[in-house]
Amino acid sequence: MTFDFLFNLLNEQLIEIHECPLNTVEILLLKGILEDLSYGQIGRQEDYSPAYLTNVAAPKLYKKLSKLFGENVTKKNCRTLLESYNSSTKYNTSASYPSGAVPLNSPFYIERPPIEEQVYEEINKPGALIRIKAPKEMGKTSLLLRILNQAVDRGYRTITINLDQIDRAIISDLDRFLRFLCATATQQLDLEQKLEEYWDDDIGSKVSCSLYFRCYLLERINSPIVLAFDELNRIFEYPQVAMDVLPLFRSWYEDAKRTASWQKLRTIVVHSTEVYIPLQLHQSPFNVGLPIKLKCFDLDQVKKLAEKYKLNWHKSGEAEQLMNLVGGHPILIQIALYHLSRQEITLAKLLQTASTHESIYHHHLRRQWLTLQQEPELGEFFKIMLQTNHPVQLEPIVAHKLSSMGLIKQIGNEAIVSCKLYQDYFTKNLIEVDSKNQL
């Protein structure tokens, strides 16, 4: 059994069920369990107290695995369950339905040179900041998983904060959000929480948070720490919080230029849209560090992915026809190739039915339609775009929401509908339906 392979699989599945990935102590425990070691033997090898492993670390690990496996995990049955899990997934390289991040072990991940090489090199630099921007389902989280995996391979510790998973009551309150950040970081680093020792209302939440990271977390951990924020754009919806939090992250980046402890922190921010919060240039974390903008697949990448799906499209026009429909959008390309590879539909039929209720994209398009129905004002702006043949300038909040959905492509301060599929489907289901209702 290959440890790295198994732990990567576990981490991917844990993220899928909104659980934190395995931390360093949990990985050490699992390695020891797979080698049939006692808590005492594991503790002596790695300089951990057997009591801590028995009473604190192991119960947290088993609770996490129980949720993943759907049955109660204990020290006694853990090894058997892990071996069964590994054998059931190790040789399964067939395509599963495209949904969420592409797993680390998947052959269906398509690199976009030179991006991967750039980010792997950048994360090794003291005080690094990497900014990854793209609409939803463009591959941001898949890339993030690979950066974090590279960091773990180098012996770094990692903290992952997905803002989509944070309660609105927390993210809308500066003090609660920063306390949440510190508490979550402490938990993922497997340290004892000491918020009350560092939090001081007289100096404020931002200074308290900075002191907690610098004087406690960064001092206690010997290796570099990678702090990753996925879907950071959600904080844009709370401008008063964003206007304090974003300059705070910028200050940590600037402090790394002169303070050794902050150089141990490397930050990754992942967001879906342009920033529309008004910030001064010296306060924004979005004009420093390494910018990475994920674009749609090009023709060669689509052909390469088709080959992975056992489709020979190198000398034919199929790839071009599909791209004319969906514009190289990764998830839309993946869905098409999945169905085509299973011979569930021909390309001609796919193109003919793409914007109808028979479409392989029906569920994807329906989700987008429901979002527009729930926000009528957003739908009205999108209707204007559907009925024009030239780029349209939108209000920042409207552009933010439509861009994050992937429905529009921004060109400077203006935008167009992102692909023919969306143009055809929403023309039928927004404009023509409204016209019929008015008759």
CATH number of the domain residue 254 falls in: 3.40.50.300
Last residue of a domain, one of 293, 317, 344: 293
Is the per-residue pLDDT at 90 higher than 50? no
pLDDT of residue 160: 95
Q: Which two tokens stand for residue 293?
A: 């903008």
Same domain, residue pair 35 and 136:
no
Domain residue limits at 36: 3-89
How many domains, in total, are found in the chain?
3
Q: What is the pLDDT of residues 387-419, one digit of tens each?
A: 998 999 998 889 888 988 999 998 888 999 999
Pairing of strands 225-230, 392-393: unpaired
CB contact at 8 A, 93 and 74 = no
**CA-to-CA distance for 184 and 165, rounded, in angstroms?**
12
- Quote the crossing angle between the two packed helices 330-341 and 318-326, to the nearest 10°: 140
Same domain, residue pair 81 and 143:
no
Tell me if the pTM is above 0.85: no
Same domain, residue pair 153 and 251:
yes
Is the per-residue pLDDT at 100 higher than 60? yes
Q: What is the pLDDT of residues 51-64, one digit of tens each?
A: 889 988 999 999 99
User: From the CB of residue 374, how many other CB atoms can be counted at a distance below 10 Å?
Assistant: 9
Q: What is the DSSP letter of 258?
A: T
pLDDT cut 90: percent of the chain above it: 65
**CA-to-CA distance for 331 and 326, rounded, in angstroms?**
10
Q: Is 137 left (phi over 0), alpha (psi -120 to 50) or beta?
A: left
Beta bridge partners of 155: none
Same domain, residue pair 250 and 184:
yes
Q: Which two tokens stand for residue 106?
A: 């998947």
Same domain, residue pair 268 and 411:
no
Is the per-residue pLDDT at 92 higher than 50? no
Q: Which amino acid type is present at position 323?
A: M
384: in domain: yes
> What is the side-by-side order of every strand in the sheet holding 414-417?
392-393, 414-417, 408-411
CB contact at 8 A, 4 and 54 = no
Same domain, residue pair 82 and 137:
no
Same domain, residue pair 370 and 289:
no
Last residue of a domain, one of 71, 89, 107: 89
Q: Is 317 left (phi over 0), alpha (psi -120 to 50) or beta?
A: alpha
Same domain, residue pair 37 and 142:
no
Considering the chain, what is the average pLDDT of its residues?
Answer: 90
**CA-to-CA distance for 284 and 131, rounded, in angstroms?**
12
